[in-house]
């Protein structure tokens, strides 16, 4: 991404009520671009999936910090969701549709698929024992 015109950072504990906080914060940050309603809801849903993964997987039996960074450059939105939780052994496998390590807890293994279909690019960097960073990139389409 080119030099961002605006950015924000938000840190919060991995409590399930903060999934909503992340959605609202991202929505508020993007309001300056006056985005289309459908695009905004796609971005918020992708963010929710990434934040939920921090809550349910990264910090499975504990509470840790989730760090959300959002940047805007022109029509490009960049959002990073980072945790210092358990990390992912095999990122490629984790990103396969329907792959989940928690099938007994009604997880469907579609979080990464949702992130991919609702944004233009998803990159995941992870190190077992150190944590995971998910970057979502999406170009806003102009309004007609």
Ligand X SMILES: Nc1ncnc2c1ncn2[C@@H]1O[C@H](COP(=O)(O)OP(=O)(O)OP(=O)(O)O)[C@@H](O)[C@H]1O
Nearer to ligand X, 110 or 137 (CB): 110
Contact 85, 93 (CB under 8 A): no
Binding site for ligand X (CB under 6 A): 49, 53-54, 57-58, 83, 85-88, 94, 99-102, 107-112, 132
Q: Which residue is nearest to ligand X (CB)?
A: 111
Q: Of 49, 92, 96, 116, which one is the catalytic site residue?
A: 49
Does residue 85 interact with Mg ion by CB under 5 A? no
By CB under 5 A, the residues from 34 to 53 that bind Mg ion are 53
Site for Mg ion (CB under 5 A): which residue of 111, 118, 136, 140? Answer: 111
Residue 55 and residue 34 in contact, taking contact as beta carbons nearer than 8 Å: no
Q: Is 19 a catalytic residue?
A: no
Q: Are 84 and 130 in contact (CB under 8 A)?
A: yes
Reading the block at residue 40, the tokens are: 């905004």
Verify whether residue 6 is a known catalytic residue. Answer: no
Strands 65-73 and 131-139: unpaired
Q: Phi and psi dihedrals of 113, rounded to 5?
A: -65, -40
**18 carries an active-site annotation:** no
Tell me which residues are annotated as active site: 49, 53, 107
């Amino acid at each position: 991404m080119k030099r961002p015109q605006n950015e924000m950072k938000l840190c919060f504990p991995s409590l399930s009520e903060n999934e909503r906080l992340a959605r609202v914060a991202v929505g508020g940050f993007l309001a300056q671009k006056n985005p289309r309603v459908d695009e905004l809801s796609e971005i918020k849903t992708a963010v929710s999936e990434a934040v939920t993964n921090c809550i349910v997987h990264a910090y499975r039996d504990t509470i840790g910090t989730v760090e959300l960074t959002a940047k805007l450059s022109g029509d490009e939105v960049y959002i990073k969701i980072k945790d210092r939780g358990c990390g992912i052994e095999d990122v490629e496998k984790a990103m396969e549709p329907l792959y989940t390590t928690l099938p007994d807890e009604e997880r469907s293994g579609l979080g990464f698929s949702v992130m991919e279909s609702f944004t233009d690019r998803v990159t995941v960097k992870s190190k077992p024992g150190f944590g995971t960073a998910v970057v979502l990139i999406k170009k806003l389409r102009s309004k007609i």
